[in-house]
Chain A
Amino acid sequence: MGKVVVVTSGKGGVGKTTSTAALGAALAQTGLKVALIDFDVGLRNLDLVMGAERRVVFDLVNVTQGAAKLSQALIRDKRIETLYLLPASQTRDKDALTEEGVAHVVGALREKFDYVLCDSPAGIERGAQLAMRFADEAVIVTNPEVSSVRDSDRVIGLLDSKTVKAENGESVGKHVLITRYDATRASRGEMLGIDDVLEILSTPLLGIIPESQAVLRASNVGTPVTLAEPANAAARAYFDAAKRLQGEELPMVLQAEKRRFFDRLLGRMAA
């Protein structure tokens, strides 16, 4: 039986989809069988970030409604053969997803895969609640910024009340993944620090993803950053996070961008 992990945040644009792709690829690169499900019905993007946008035939809604088999809708990654994607539908409305349908799909994937990563839509409405509904673990993607931290707190509240685990008196394993972190700005007191975020959310840390150009470059070309630029600081941080998700205990080192003196100089001037 595989683990179901929801990647969620409340706030949009903090890096849920990017993180789902990067963590999924990092896990699959170790040989684990990984399925990624895009729950953002109507606004799918995981297919694009994974570079599979031209290979979508069937989607999550088709499968939940019985119009396609799960095996027909799953897209196998061209680079990592243990990595699969179940795309969201682009056209139908959000109510097309039913709890029974999602239960069936997640249940079937859990049988066949080691990890099922559910990429949640933004918000705290139905779609987001369905994405977290059957989760064993949750990755709460948070930017060190007030609105993101507040929304993460709301989502943590939902994870503790609206999931199957919570309703059965158990609890979803929660982990905060801080993305777009800029150590220099945090040390100057311009940005919330890691300790601030953790103290406020009182949830353990899965990883700190430094702000990096490589993340955008990876999205641009449709390859998870852990696959496109594995040596990059953000990619290394995702690899560490993937290991912690599997229960490994690693020291929390802040991965730093290896920048040359000249880049640094230019960066300073631009900032």
Chain B
Amino acid sequence: MRLFDFFRRRRSAPVARERLKVLLAYERANRNLPDLVAVLREEILAVITRHVRVRQDDVRVTMDRGDTKSRLAIDIRIPNGATIAGAF
């Protein structure tokens, strides 16, 4: 097992090459576009806060970028009995 680990540790350059290829393909394609995740996050939050008061800490936005598809997850904790923002 140690021999295997030793071998694996040595060849990290191919991993670096593949990671860079995937990343740079994405970055080049999106260089002149606004950050999609940032735009979605802002707009979705704007809609939510029109109805519910949420604290910044209660919002978790995660992104998992795949080769062909990506997954954007927005997790908002809404306190029970939260006030409706426009109710005042």
Contact = CB atoms under 8 A, between A and B. Distances in A.
A and B held together in a complex = yes
Interface of A: 145-146, 149-150, 153-154, 157, 186, 188-193, 196, 200
Nearest to A200: B20
A192 B14 CA distance: 7
Contacts, number: 39
B10 A150 contact: no
Contacts of B2: none
Chain B interface size band reads 10 to 19
B74 interface: no
Given A146-B19, A157-B31, A189 B13 contact: yes
B13 A192 contact: yes
A146 B20 CA distance: 7
B20 A150 contact: yes
Interface in B26-52: 27-28, 31
Contacts of A188: 10-11
Contacts of B28: 153, 157
A196 B12 contact: no
Contacts of A146: 16, 19-20
A97 to B, nearest CB: 25
Given A149-B20, A150-B24, A190-B10, 19 more contacts: A146-B20, A150-B27, A153-B27, A153-B28, A154-B27, A157-B31, A188-B10, A188-B11, A189-B10, A189-B11, A189-B13, A190-B11, A191-B13, A192-B13, A192-B16, A193-B13, A196-B16, A200-B20, A200-B21
Given A153-B28, A157-B28, A196 B13 contact: yes
Contacts of A157: 28, 31
